[in-house]
């Protein structure tokens, strides 16, 4: 089971947000955002921030760091190591199943991710045997979008996507390509972009807060 840090529900635990970090970060990176979102206490939202496994990353000279998968090339078509994506998706799926076993319904679970974490979230959610409340995909792209139609188990999914228009790490067009693939699958996808680089901004957090409240109320 993945190790994680958490921000506990402020009242009875009724819903869970599992939020995956980006390359080289850890669950601690996004932990401070949970209280900043100031979600209504009565929603009972617990935030879980898993730590990705430590592994060598090819484009970083084989340096070991927390990564959800190896990156062998910066070419966006082949950037995500598919085998690694599937391995990490299985680990995150176990976290979701643990929440369900603890009594949290699947439709009260949000799967969120930034950059590499967003790749895992967008890969996993459509392939789950149950429908989650939604997916939050920030500054990210898709692994093997051409396989989505054949592998998807969900016919409906609500997805919040946000991207920086000046992102030098994951160009916004890569996010748009993922958006198009998800829309073509028939999913309910919202898109917002902000004049920022590979990061999260205040206006984005306001939109995230509103979306989380709408999905978990």
Q: Which residues are catalytic?
A: 115, 167, 198
Please compute, for residue 28, the number of CA atoms within 13 A of its CA located in the half-sphere on the CB side: 2
Closest CA to 48 of 110, 90, 128, 132: 110
Q: What angle do CA 82, 52, 12 make, to 5 degrees?
A: 120
Tell me the C-alpha distance between 98 and 117, whole Å: 19
Tell me the C-alpha distance between 90 and 68, whole Å: 11
8-state DSSP, 83: H
The total of other beta-carbon atoms located within 10 Å of residue 38's CB is 10
Tell me the C-alpha distance between 133 and 175, whole Å: 21
Could you tell me if 59 and 73 are in contact, meaning their C-beta atoms sit under 8 angstroms apart?
yes
């Amino acid at each position: 089971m993945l190790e994680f840090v958490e921000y506990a529900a402020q009242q009875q635990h009724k819903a869970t947000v599992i939020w995956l970090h980006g390359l080289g970060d850890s669950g601690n990176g996004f932990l401070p955002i949970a209280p900043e979102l100031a979600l209504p206490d009565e929603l009972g939202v617990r935030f879980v921030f898993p730590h990705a496994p430590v592994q060598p990353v090819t484009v970083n000279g084989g340096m070991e760091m927390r990564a959800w998968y190896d990156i062998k090339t910066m070419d966006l078509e082949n950037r995500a190591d598919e085998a690694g994506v599937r391995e990490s998706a299985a680990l995150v799926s176990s976290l979701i199943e643990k929440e369900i076993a603890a009594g949290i319904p699947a439709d009260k679970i949000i799967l969120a991710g930034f950059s590499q974490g967003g790749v895992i979230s967008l890969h996993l959610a459509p392939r789950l045997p149950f429908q989650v409340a939604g997916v939050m995909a920030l500054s990210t792209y898709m692994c093997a979008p051409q396989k989505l139609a054949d592998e998807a188990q969900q016919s409906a999914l609500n997805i919040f996507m946000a991207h920086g228009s000046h992102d030098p790490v994951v160009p916004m067009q890569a996010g748009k390509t993922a958006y198009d693939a998800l829309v073509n699958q028939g999913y309910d996808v919202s898109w917002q972009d902000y004049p920022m680089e590979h990061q999260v901004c205040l206006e984005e957090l306001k939109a995230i807060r509103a979306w989380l409240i709408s999905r978990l109320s």
